[in-house]
C-alpha cells in the first residue's frame, strides 16, 4: 500500500510539472527548420567569393563580428527587434537573409527566436539562422572564418 502511494505521489508531481510547462513531453518546436540553419563554412565560402550573390547579414546579438553584417543589437529587447523589422521591411520577400547572434549556445539564446519569428511573421521565404550551436568564437572565429576589422 505504501509503495502504491509513493508511485501515485510521484505521478501527481510529474503531472503537475507537465501541466505547468516545467517538463516537455516532446522536443520543443523551434521557429526554424533544419534547412534554415546555415553552416558557418557555407557562409564563409560565400563571403570569400566576391562575385557570388551576397546575403543580407544581420547581427542580432551583442557584437557584429562577421564582415558586411549590419549591427542590430540584441533582439531579445523590443527596441532592437523593431530595429530589425525596419531594416528588412523593404527587402523582397525572397531576399537571402542571414541572422546571427553567437552570445551563447543558441539553444538558450534570448535573441534568435524573437528575430526568426519576426522574419517568419513578415513572410520572408529565404531567411536563415547561422548555425552557431556554441558561440561566435568557437563556431566562427576559431575556424579562421572572416571577421570584421
Distance CA 10, CA 16 (A): 10
Question: Cell for 79?
Answer: 527596441
User: pLDDT at position 31, please?
Assistant: 85
pLDDT digits (tens, 9 = 90+) for 43-97: 999 999 989 999 999 999 988 999 999 999 999 999 999 999 999 999 999 999 9
Helix (H) or strand (E) holding 59: strand 56-59
- Backbone φ and ψ for 6, nearest 5 degrees, come out as -65, -45
Residue 116, judged by CB atoms within 10 A of its CB (0-12, 13-18, 19+), counts as buried
pLDDT digits (tens, 9 = 90+) for 93-129: 999 999 999 999 878 899 999 999 999 999 999 999 9
User: pLDDT at position 144, please?
Assistant: 96
Domain 28-143, architecture per CATH: 3-Layer(aba) Sandwich (3.40)
Question: Cell for 68?
Answer: 558586411
Q: What is the pTM of this model?
A: 0.80
Give strand pairing partners of 42.
none
Place 38 in a pLDDT band, splitting at 50, 70 and 90.
very high
Amino acid at each position: 500500500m505504501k509503495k502504491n502511494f509513493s508511485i501515485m505521489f510521484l505521478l501527481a508531481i510529474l503531472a503537475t510539472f507537465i501541466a505547468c510547462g516545467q517538463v516537455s513531453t516532446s522536443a520543443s518546436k523551434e521557429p526554424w527548420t533544419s534547412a534554415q540553419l546555415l553552416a558557418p563554412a557555407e557562409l564563409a565560402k560565400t563571403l570569400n567569393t566576391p562575385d557570388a550573390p551576397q546575403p543580407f547579414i544581420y547581427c542580432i546579438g551583442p557584437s557584429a563580428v562577421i564582415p558586411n553584417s549590419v549591427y542590430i543589437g540584441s533582439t531579445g529587447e523590443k527596441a532592437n527587434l523593431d530595429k530589425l523589422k525596419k531594416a528588412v521591411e523593404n527587402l523582397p520577400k525572397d531576399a537571402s537573409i542571414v541572422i546571427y547572434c553567437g552570445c551563447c549556445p543558441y539553444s538558450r539564446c534570448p535573441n534568435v527566436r524573437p528575430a526568426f519569428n519576426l522574419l517568419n511573421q513578415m513572410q520572408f521565404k529565404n531567411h536563415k539562422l547561422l548555425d552557431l550551436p556554441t558561440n561566435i568564437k568557437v563556431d566562427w572565429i576559431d575556424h579562421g572564418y572572416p571577421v570584421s576589422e
